[in-house]
Amino acid sequence: MASLFERLKVDCKTDWEAYTHHAFVETMGDGNLPEAAFRDYLVQDYLFLIQFARAYALSIYKSRSLAEMRGGLDGLKAILDVEMGLHVRLCAGWGISASELEETAEKGETVAYTRFVLDAGNAGDLLDLYVALSPCMIGYAEIGARLAVAQASSTSNENPYSEWINEYASPAYQELAADTIKNLDNLASETMTEFRYPRLKKLFAAASRLEADFWQMGLNAATE
């Protein structure tokens, strides 16, 4: 059976590329992203990850077996123990304290995306939830790997966003993304039908667009 993720990415190519090649991403890659945009993104992404952790907790509840529960737990731990730690560390380097992160309000784009994912999981089954989650988990790995290659061949001065790029290009995160694809395909082999594919495609496309909106939120902050 062909990979469900690859099929979704091909069928939602316009939305996927608008997300993974957004101006925020491209200017972060060449080091020209305004600092105000990155600072705003960091804070909102921390709040975003809190809600995504809830989504992975929901995946444990939605699981039908211990193996699926452990898979959900791995995703939850990756967010709580790796990604959120990265954000706290990055934010400290940019003069943003942990207390400031906790006290900042979620912006509309953050609310829209995270509640969309939680709604997809509450209304559907585990496959619906993981399809809605997949653009974030897998897309960041794709972006990180691509930007790391470009960074390695660049002759410009050190990129201030290298730590972010290197984290998502790291072998550990690439392995996490590969496991996410494998888990998605395993679920699809059991529960995906052609009848339900249009709904999954709609979820994937919407999540990709919401990711692009999230990047745009950061760019907008630089002009406010």
Helices and strands, number each (H, E), in the chain: 12, 0
Q: Which helix (H) or strand (E) holds 208?
A: helix 197-221
Name the active-site residue from 12, 91, 109, 136.
136
For residue 182, give both structure tokens: 């494998």
Q: What is the C-alpha separation between 118 and 166, in angstroms, rounded? A: 29
Q: Are the C-beta atoms of 31 and 161 separated by less than 8 Å? A: yes
Q: What is the C-alpha separation between 5 and 11, in angstroms, rounded? A: 10
- Is 211 one of the catalytic residues? yes
- Is 100 one of the catalytic residues? no
Q: Are the C-beta atoms of 191 and 1 separated by less than 8 Å? A: no
Q: Are the C-beta atoms of 206 and 116 separated by less than 8 Å? A: yes
Name the active-site residue from 83, 109, 167, 211.
211
> Which residues are part of the catalytic machinery?
136, 211
